[in-house]
Amino acid sequence: GAGVSQSPSNKVTEKGKDVELRCDPISGHTALYWYRQSLGQGLEFLIYFQGNSAPDKSGLPSDRFSAERTGGSVSTLTIQRTQQEDSAVYLCASSTQDGSYEQYFGPGTRLTVT
């Protein structure tokens, strides 16, 4: 079946502009996660959704970052007034909540802020 998809694959934006990143999880996966991976670094947790609610937003770096999920499916991560330090690969993952904890990752969106 289809895996996790993300769009766009690459985004170049000017400092100060807003960007929206999209994640389509695997159909039926109720849990959705956003991570950020800076060059040569590990995966930094941003936010977790269970259905449409976000019980854990602890990783969002500032109030410029927000995310929503609608219909228990698609999620968008919005970064307002982008800064150069926001440049990274943004990865989305999804999983079931049936006791199988594996998170399936999307291909990521590479964001470059100039």
Partner 1 sequence: GENVEQHPSTLSVQEGDSAVIKCTYSDSASNYFPWYKQELGKRPQLIIDIRSNVGEKKDQRIAVTLNKTAKHFSLHITETQPEDSAVYFCASRGSNYKLTFGKGTLLTVNP
Residues engaged in binding partner 1 (CB under 8 A)? 31, 33, 35, 41-43, 45, 48, 50, 55-56, 58, 91, 95, 97, 101-108
Least distance to partner 1, CB of residue 15, Å: 25
Our CB check for partner 1 shows the closer of 16 and 55 to be 55
Our CB check for partner 1 shows the closer of 35 and 65 to be 35
Least distance to partner 1, CB of residue 98, Å: 12
Least distance to partner 1, CB of residue 80, Å: 24
State the CB neighbour count (10 A cutoff) for residue 34. 27
Dihedral sign, Cα of residue 26, residue 100, residue 110, residue 82: positive
Rounded Cα distance, 6 and 62, in Å: 22
- Detail the DSSP E strand segments found in 52-106: 53-56, 65-69, 75-79, 88-95, 104-105
Phi, psi for residue 97 in degrees, rounded to 5: -120, 35
Our CB check for partner 1 shows the closer of 75 and 95 to be 95
Our CB check for partner 1 shows the closer of 19 and 46 to be 46
Least distance to partner 1, CB of residue 22, Å: 16
Say whether the peptide bond before residue 107 is cis (omega within 30 degrees of 0). no
Take residue 66 and report the two structure tokens written for it: 């927000």
